[in-house]
Amino acid sequence: MYLKRFILVILIMLWGVSFVQIFSVPPYARDVYPVYKSGYFVELERQMGVIADSFLSIKTMSRAAYGWIFLDDMGTHHNIRVRVYDSDGLLVPVPGVKKDVPDEKVLGILHSAHPRPSFFIEGGSYHGIIPFKKQDRCVFCHNSSASNDVIGILAFSRKYDGHVYYSSERVLIFILITLGITCLIFIAGRWQPGIKVKELFDKYD
């Protein structure tokens, strides 16, 4: 019986924690991000990828300046700040102008043997760093000597709305967990370990 009580106490505690998490209480989306990435953040990353592809297409198929105008519009109309860096880690605010404004995370990707996009939460904003690898259409304008073939980087920064996480995904996840724990509590409540043990001994009497 002690084992049954112990299991019930643990399950009830877990049920209480799971039920409370259905509502807007800590830990928040940014707190659980290192362990669990919400689908909301995955969608933000997809948007950044679309912007990066659009920038590259505009820059390649039209005048380079139009690419920067496009990024400027993203900041003005959608509050998505985008910075362009070259293969040396220099900030490129407009075509033909370079500024030595180092960014440690950008430099980290540039110096990586296997560069890949990086996303993280910092200062109340969601950030993304997307490297561009050399393609056939890029050789006319870029001559990167880097061993990892990175010719440039786009660094994104945008505010995120954590309430989106609470209004759908988090609520659904913890409702399902709470229902699962409820079933376990019901099963544990009907469990009679003492009777099973008595029946075992009666069998051999």
**In what order do the strands lie in the sheet containing 80-86?**
97-99, 91-94, 80-86, 150-159, 125-133, 118-122
- Of 192 and 52, the one with more pLDDT: 52
Using one digit for the tens of pLDDT, what is the confidence trace for 92-113? 999 989 999 889 999 999 888 8
Provide the pLDDT for residue 111: 87
- Going by their DSSP bridges, the two strands 91-94 and 97-99 should be labelled as antiparallel
**Which of 181, 204, 171 has its CA nearest to residue 8?**
181
CATH of domain 29-162: 3.30.450
Q: Which of 189, 192, 172 is nearest to 12 (CA)?
A: 189
- Count Cβ neighbours within 10 Å for each residue of 61-98 and write b for 16 or more, e otherwise: eeeeeebbebbeebeeeeebbbbbbbbebbbbeeeeee
pLDDT band at 12 (very low <50, low <70, confident <90, very high): very high
Q: Which residues contact residue 138 at a Cβ distance below 8 angstroms, ignoring those fewer than 6 apart?
A: 60, 132, 151
56 pLDDT above the threshold of 80: yes
pLDDT of residue 190: 82
Does 66 score more than 90 pLDDT?
yes
Q: Tell me how far apart the alpha carbons of residues 48 and 43 are, in angstroms, rounded to a whole number.
A: 9
- pLDDT, one tens digit per residue, over 80-93 is 999 999 988 999 99
CB 52: neighbour CB atoms within 10 A? 20
More confident residue, 46 or 38: 46
- What percent of the chain shows pLDDT beyond 90? 41
Q: What is the overall mean pLDDT for the chain?
A: 84
Contact 98, 90 (CB under 8 A): yes
> In Å, how far are 23, 72, 131 from 98, measured between CA atoms?
48, 17, 18
Q: Please tell me which residue, 147 or 32, carries the higher pLDDT value.
A: 32
Integer Cα distance of 55 and 73 in angstroms: 11
134-150 per-position pLDDT tens digit: 776 666 566 655 556 88
**Which range has the worst mean pLDDT, 81-90, 157-166, 196-205?**
196-205
Q: In the chain, where are the structural domains located?
A: 2-22+174-203, 29-162
Residues 178-190: tens digit of each pLDDT: 999 999 999 888 8
* Listed residue (205, 199, 195) closest to 4, CA to CA: 195
In this prediction, residue 199 has a pLDDT band, given cuts at 50, 70 and 90, of low
